[in-house]
Structure 1
Amino acid sequence: MMFNKLKEYMERIFPFMKNNKIEEGLINPITLCFSDRKLNIDFSEELAKSSVKVVRLSMLLGIATYIIFGLKYEILESPDKYLFYRIIGIIEFSTVFVLTYFSLYKKYSQFIISGLILFGGFNVLMISLDNGNNLYVGLILTSIYAHSLLRFRFVFASLTTWILVSTYLTIISISPDIPEFILINNTFFLVTANLLGMVASYSIEYYMRANFWKSRQLHEKR
């Protein structure tokens, strides 16, 4: 009886599992894509629709972060030599915020967010490199933001954040002015943070797909 309850509990947690194996042809365990193309399209549209308020709030949070850090530098390091980068960042987040009110966003939400993370990430990267690598933690914040706040698909979030991390680490590894201990330290924290972010985004998307699939099944049974 206890075993049956445990099995029932596991099936609720992992709805794509059957006899301890992912049901063949239902979902790819790596990319988290449904095998059915229409099901993928429906999920993407539902994801864009249901998460739009969260995305808008995330855009406002991104704008607020740029403004707060800008004010901090105005106070501590006046004048703020990174003002240009911050203005660009605010424009990027504001643009995506506005786009969420158009039908274009519903269709291309993942590509739009990918562009935001890449351009915004490179914006942070330029500030980090110009600041003696004291601001590399900005890339960690970017990774957390991409993997957990944007309802960004696991594959897209992983690809964009690893592009940023790899670019940053490549640049500092060939820089003659960067001590080896800083390179090792930054590499460890950036890679670890991104791996943890991947676990988070994988879990988030997995359960969003699980809920979507169960809702679809209930609808079909009615």
Structure 2
Amino acid sequence: MIIDSKVSLNAYERFVNEENEEIQDRHLKEHVNALKKHVNDLSGKNYHELYQIESPDFVLLFVPIEPAFAMALNADSNLYSEAFDKNIVIVTPTTLLATLRTIDTMWQNEKQQKNALDIANAAGGLYDKFVLLTEDLIKVGSQLDTVKKSYSSSMNKLTEGSGNLIGRVERLKKLGAKANKNLNEKLLNRAIDNDPDFLEGSDEEPRLN
């Protein structure tokens, strides 16, 4: 938070020390003009951009003497609003602390809103990823179903029905085919169970058609 306290109070000091009302009025106008000039100078400097710090888009102009601001505001009722329009907030010893607390509350609320927005964005991104994952799993499931059907179809050709492939191949071995390996016992038993002609045809020429 940028707080400027360099405002000149020389005209106000002359006003306070002067007894002549006519001269006092002149000093009061000079005091008001000094405040306005300082407001314009601060507005043109863009401190919050110059130092690249995390700060509100306005600067606090601190007037250390309460009556100095009160007298200026009494002489020009638009002084505060005109400064505010230029992103300058005039504060005094009695309003500085309250203003800082208000700004701190605003910051906390802004951070909470930003955190809530970040959480919402992160949750949305996570949800989108989850949707893509479920879509991929559905595709994998479909592919597994296809593979399973292909597997079942291939196994049926090997073991199902009279003259299944395993039965016919095993007959070749029984007829004297030289082989170093044996078919899986469970698979062979399944093929035999599904081929009633296997035992009957074990001594016959294998049916290859």
**When the two structures are superposed, what TM-score results if normalisation uses the length of structure 2?**
0.28
- TM-score norm. by structure 1 comes to 0.27
Q: State which structure, 1 or 2, has the greater radius of gyration over its C-alpha atoms.
A: 2
Give the helix-richer structure, 1 or 2: 1
